[in-house]
Amino acid sequence: MKIRFVLLFLLLLSTNAYALSWSDASANPASGSQYSPGKNYNFQISWNGDGETVTGVLFELTDVSAGTKSNNTVYNVMNLYYVNFTGLEPSDYSFRWFAEDSSSNTNITDAISYSVVKNSSAAITLLLDERQGNKSYAKNDIATFSASLNIPGKTIYLDSDYPGIDVNNTTSIIYAQKNLTYEGTFILNASWPGDDFYESHWKAFYFDNKPPFHGQVNSYPWDYTTYSPNLTINFNTTWSDVNLTEVRFESNHTGKKKNYTTKTEPKVQNMSGVFWVDMENIFPAEFAYRWYAKDDANNWAATEARTYNLFKALALNVNPLSSEVYDGTTSVINCFSITDEIDISDFEFSRNGTKISNSSMMDRIDATKLDIGYYEYICETEGNKNYSNQTIVANLTVLSKYTKPKPEAKKELKISDVSSVYVLSGESTQGTFNLSSTLEDTVTDLSVIVENLDEEWYEIGSLPSAILEGGYTIVEIDFDIPYYVEAQYIGVKIKATGQTDNGSVLATGTMPLSINEEQSAPNQPPEYFDFSTTPAKKGETAMFSFMLDDDSGLSGYIFSTNETGSWVNDSWVFLDGKEGSIDIMKDVASNPGTVVAWKVYANDTNNAWSSSMENFMQIRQEEEFGYIIPLVIVIVAIVVAVVMLFLNKKEAAPSKKVVYVYTKDS
């Protein structure tokens, strides 16, 4: 039989006539199937003798990777020929068919590629206290970790960046218990490197033993915002934990504390660890808020309570605020509301003390012919829950129609360009006005008097010794409002006096002063971000890095480690500014493998202290046999030099005299 097929093969190589034809060459399972022990493989083809009888069929399977060939018994049913194999190993193969008919016609198929791939069904199962997935623990909890492979008798590995977890087992299953005394966030890895028949596989989960950690707490618009209709205030922060289960936002803007979650309206929303809530229709008030978070170990954490100030808005305006018209002209002055929350029933408009009743829905209008003179218009409201009490004063001068107005004709000491002042209780600000003179005489002995304001609430800036004709000066008034002053509006009466050769002169004016209540938000201590370490070996220098941030300004910090076995504080380091990136370099004295804890105490300019979380660094192992590579290089260099010297001598052997002469000279 072997002779017959050898002859058939040689005949195929030498014959070009292909009376035989084939079709439907296939394999089951198809190429690319995964390896499985004892798996069956079937290859088949159809041969047609074109009137002749097919007398012989041969199948050849080539392991391309190994370079080996194999045959197996060919069976047939009618003109369908097939061959079976069992337990093909993972590799790249090719196969082809040979055939001969009763007239010695032969044919051969092209080589057809086929592959069996490593099985990927080997799966690692990783459990943290009988649970798959990230898990939180409380500090000092005893955690049970287990890993198993669904193929028995294999060596699998379990390791972590938590100190002391690095084990393996040859029975495809590992159990490990650890008392979680070091605080932090860690990764747990289970792995199997694979073998000739199965692909490698790994699985990793995170675990921690600390409460959730929050980042910067923000609001938009920022604190101290003025109310406006349909205002939406966004409160947000970041929370990080391996397995957060709940985040809440708490606020007392309604007058009592209320919690908002992912199931309330408005609801807490989340994207990639950023949590926010959009609050609408909040009335002007000062209120407190904070965030809470919980993980699956029932560890709760909360941000510091913060305050938010939403002030009442101004509702009224007057047009024009001041003007001059001629006798006989109809003047039009209107007081109007800029919001539909304050309509004409909520404000009054008067001219020289006489109320004006002409109105539309949002305006009170004075349109009339006035006699020559000076008129004062007052537009005022007591406000409501969203809008503050407000008073606006406007002036109108009616001139004689027979006299052209000549600004220079009136000789006076004048107050103009008076600023409107807005200040919070407990804070300071500044108001200004322009004091000018059109008098022909020089004005001396200048003084400014404020009549209807507590003298402890303000201080008038310095004045020049005199003002010449056409000259002016800008007068500054520094306001310092005590924290206990209630919100109110004051039209501050200002008088400026001076002396000329013809006697004293006087100028008057009104400075609008709006005071709003404020309670200072509690000072926030420094916050920490971006902890990192660059580990070192014993005797080397390690780097400890972190960032500091403070709302009022940093004062300094103290760095502390427990490398000696107890906590030791470094010297106080001064800082300035509100944020900073800190890098601390320290020599390492502990033995390899030692875990060193470190933390930071920081202080701000308001003497608020905070302490960072504990961070950890493991002392690197000494690099054993570090001398081998340089030694190998030296040895190789010596060997090469010796070989080259030997070759040179060998080539120079016929000229012994030359060699002798050089030796003698040397």
Return phi, psi of residue 587, to 5°.
-75, 140
β-strand partners of 403: none
Q: Is 212 exposed, middle or buried (0-12, 13-18, 19+ CB in 10 A)?
A: buried
Q: Is the pTM of this model over 0.85?
A: no
Query: Would you tell me how many other CB atoms lie within 10 Å of the CB of residue 324?
Result: 13
The closest alpha carbon to 96, from 47, 48, 58, 68, belongs to: 58
Q: What is the pLDDT of residue 316?
A: 82
SS3 264: coil
Q: Which long-range contacts (CB under 8 A, 24 or more apart) does 250-258 make?
A: 250/289, 250/290, 250/291, 250/292, 251/279, 251/287, 251/288, 251/289, 252/287, 252/288, 252/289, 253/279, 253/282, 253/283, 253/285, 253/287, 253/289, 253/308, 253/310
Q: How far is CA 35 from CA 29, 60, 110, 202, in A?
A: 11, 21, 25, 19
User: What does the pLDDT read at residue 501?
Assistant: 85
Is 18 a residue whose pLDDT tops 50? yes
10 Å Cβ neighbour count for 554? 20
Please report the sign of the dihedral spanned by the C-alpha atoms of residue 357, residue 360, residue 363, residue 368: negative
User: What's the CA gap between 62 and 666, in Å, rounded?
Assistant: 67
Q: Which of these, 158, 188, 189, lies nearest to 172 by C-alpha position?
A: 158
Q: Tell the residue number behind the tokens 């084939």, with chain if given.
A: 22
Structure tokens at 563: 């490398």
- DSSP of 565-631: SS-EE---EE--SSEEEEEEEEE--SPTTPEEEEEEEEEETT--EEEPPPEEEEPBPP-TTTTHHHH
Q: How confident is the model at residue 537 (pLDDT cuts 50, 70, 90)?
A: confident
pLDDT tier, 9 (very low <50, low <70, confident <90, very high otherwise): very low
For 505-531, write each residue's pLDDT tens digit. Answer: 888 888 888 888 654 455 688 998 888
Give residue 580's pLDDT band: very low, low, confident or very high (50, 70, 90). Answer: confident
Q: How confident is the model at residue 576 (pLDDT cuts 50, 70, 90)?
A: confident
Is residue 328 predicted with pLDDT exceeding 90?
no
Query: What pLDDT, on the 0 to 100 scale, is given for residue 509?
Result: 87
**For residue 408, pLDDT beyond 80:** no
DSSP-assigned states of every residue in 111-160: PEEEEEEPB----EEEEESS--S-EE--TT-EEEEEEEESSTT--EEEEE
The percent of the chain in helix, strand and coil, each rounded to the nearest 5, is 10, 50, 40
pLDDT digits (tens, 9 = 90+) for 621-650: 765 444 455 555 657 667 767 667 666 654
Residue whose entry in the numeric block shows the structure tokens 């949590």 = 275
User: Does residue 255 come out as left (phi exceeding 0), alpha (psi in the -120 to 50 range) or beta?
Assistant: left
Q: Is 51 exposed, middle or buried (0-12, 13-18, 19+ CB in 10 A)?
A: exposed
pLDDT of 235: 97
41: which 2 tokens? Answer: 């493989």
DSSP type of residue 427: -
Report the pLDDT averaged over residues 478-496: 87
Question: How many Å is the Cα radius of gyration of the chain?
Answer: 47
91 touches 116 (CB < 8 A): yes
58-110 per-position pLDDT tens digit: 999 999 988 899 989 999 999 999 999 999 999 999 999 999 999 889 999 99
At a CB cut-off of 8 Å and minimum separation 6, what does 179 contact? Answer: 140, 141, 142
pLDDT at 633: 65
Report helix, strand or coil for 290. Answer: strand
Q: What is the largest CA-CA distance in the chain?
A: 147
